């Protein structure tokens, strides 16, 4: 296995090289500091002879630098420079990812690493298996301990038949070379990896898990994390938010979670009671007869949109008309009728809403919309009822 310059000198920023191939916007060099990406780590950026390197990829064993507008020829000597701030951020992020997954794996041996993504702006891994915040925070605490321990990070090239590969994290189906690059973090992690890492865990400085989201397919979890100063800032902001929450809930710091859980339960119970009341209110509407057709009309200060829609859809299955208004400062209006009733709900709706600068849409037998201020929901329902009365009598 050829050891590339970016692996031999991961902390170098500038280099000299010779062009070995040149075609259109692409060049190949005899050596390069530009990492072409791999192992979830993005490719490097920078310049060659002061020309911007747009992308770096590895194809058929060759590292191709995409440099739009270059005039380089085979044999030309060039000077390259990588974007060091970005590179160093990716190095630290990749090392942080290794430590984070290793720590998670210690807490759940069944956990499987599905995907890694290390970019300057976002860093995450996707795992398959059971993960929750309690487990994640334990893993985070372990990683912070490893960072403080200043563990040495070493690299070794071994044969793909080497028995030590049975003791490390490796996906053999992805190995195409006869040799494997093994990255070790102290005695806490060892894995096959093509990425670029820092020399010591202390360089990562700080790590915090920022999000845990469910991912596709079901059973996978995306764990987003931050490192260094960005992680410290996130931690400081969370601490401030936590103290605000302590003040708002009136709870002790150690009881905030249980207090919020109780508030959540209380809100769910209140919402359920309100929905039952809304449902009961709609069902209690007594119809008025207009031209032999029952018309159900009512206005409410607040009405759940889904409950209202379900009620209207159920009601208009019969030969009837529904006019439901809801809201105070901004109100909504729904007008619907059975398919065999000859009125245009959209036309009636917009005639009412136009007076308050509102509008809506729908179909001839079902229309909804809203307006701000103006007459309000109760007056809008009265107006719609009068228009329908004139249409049917």
Residue 231's contacts (CB-CB under 8 Å, 6 or more residues apart) are: 205, 206, 207, 208, 225
The pLDDT value given to residue 329: 75
Same domain flag for 268 and 256: yes
Strand order in the sheet with 123-128: 112-118, 123-128, 220-227, 207-215
Q: Is residue 245 part of a domain?
A: no
Q: Is residue 246 part of a domain?
A: no
CA distance 66 to 293: 73
Same domain flag for 25 and 162: no
- Residue 253 pLDDT class (50, 70, 90 cuts): confident
CA torsion through residues 328, 329, 330, 335, sign: positive
25-75 pLDDT, tens per residue? Answer: 999 999 999 999 988 999 999 999 999 999 999 998 899 999 999 999 999
The pLDDT value given to residue 1: 60
For the cut 90, the answer to whether the pLDDT of residue 153 exceeds it is: yes
> pTM for the full model?
0.74
Residue 103: both structure tokens together: 């720590």
Same domain flag for 111 and 131: yes
Same domain flag for 182 and 101: yes
What is the extent of the structural domain holding 220?
89-239
180-192 pLDDT, tens per residue? Answer: 899 999 999 999 9
Domain boundary among 23, 52, 82: 82
CA distance 39 to 194: 6
Total domain count, the chain: 4
For the residues 379-387, what does the mean pLDDT come to?
93
Q: Is residue 222 part of a domain?
A: yes
The pLDDT value given to residue 318: 79
230-246 pLDDT, tens per residue? Answer: 999 999 999 999 888 88
Asked whether 353 and 380 are in contact (CB, 8 A), the reply is: yes
List the CATH number of the domain containing 106. 3.30.980.10
Q: Is residue 195 part of a domain?
A: yes
CA distance 172 to 61: 19
List the CATH number of the domain containing 37. 2.40.30.130
Same domain flag for 98 and 208: yes
Query: What kind and span of H or E run contains 56?
Result: strand 55-59
Q: Which of 101-110, 214-223, 254-263 has the lowest mean pLDDT?
A: 254-263
Q: Is residue 259 part of a domain?
A: yes
| Residue 335: HSE in the Cβ half-sphere, 13 Å Cα cutoff | 32
Closest CA to 392 of 299, 289, 285: 289
Same domain flag for 277 and 298: no
The pLDDT value given to residue 328: 74
């Amino acid at each position: 296995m050829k050891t590339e310059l970016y692996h031999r000198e991961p902390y170098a920023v500038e280099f000299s090289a010779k062009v070995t191939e040149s075609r259109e916007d692409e060049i190949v060099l005899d050596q390069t500091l530009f990492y072409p990406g791999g192992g979830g780590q993005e490719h490097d950026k920078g310049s060659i002879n002061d020309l911007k390197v747009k992308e770096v990829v590895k194809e058929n064993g060759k590292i191709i630098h995409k440099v739009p507008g270059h005039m380089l020829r085979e044999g030309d000597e060039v000077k390259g420079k990588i974007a060091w701030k970005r590179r160093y951020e990716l190095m630290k992020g990749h090392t942080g990812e290794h430590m984070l997954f290793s720590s998670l794996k210690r807490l759940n041996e069944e956990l499987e690493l599905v995907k890694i993504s290390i970019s300057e702006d976002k860093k995450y891994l996707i795992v398959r298996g059971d993960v929750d915040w309690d487990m994640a925070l334990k893993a985070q605490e372990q990683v912070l301990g490893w960072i403080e321990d200043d563990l040495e990070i070493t690299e070794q090239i071994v044969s793909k038949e080497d028995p030590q590969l049975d003791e490390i994290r490796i996906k053999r189906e992805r190995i195409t070379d006869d040799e494997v690059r093994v990255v070790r973090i102290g005695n806490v992690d060892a894995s096959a990896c093509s990425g670029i890492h820092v020399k010591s865990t202390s360089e990562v400085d700080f790590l915090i898990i920022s999000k845990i989201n469910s991912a596709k397919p079901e059973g996978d979890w995306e764990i987003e994390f931050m490192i260094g100063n960005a992680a410290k800032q996130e931690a400081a902001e969370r601490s401030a938010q936590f103290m605000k929450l302590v003040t708002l809930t009136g709870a002790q710091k150690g009881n905030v979670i249980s207090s919020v859980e109780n508030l959540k339960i209380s809100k769910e119970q209140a919402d359920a009671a309100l929905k039952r009341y809304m449902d009961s209110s709609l069902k209690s509407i007594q119809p008025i007869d207009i031209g032999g057709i029952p018309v159900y009309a009512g206005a409410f200060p607040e009405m759940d949109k889904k409950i209202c829609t379900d009620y209207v859809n159920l009601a208009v299955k019969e030969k009837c008309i529904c006019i439901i208004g809801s809201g105070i400062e901004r109100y909504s209006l729904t007008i619907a009728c059975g398919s065999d009733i000859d009125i245009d709900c959209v036309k009636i709706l917009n005639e009412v809403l136009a007076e308050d600068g509102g509008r809506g849409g729908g179909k001839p037998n079902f229309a909804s919309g809203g307006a701000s201020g103006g007459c309000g929901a109760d007056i809008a329902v009265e107006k719609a009822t009068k228009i329908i009365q004139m249409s049917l009598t």
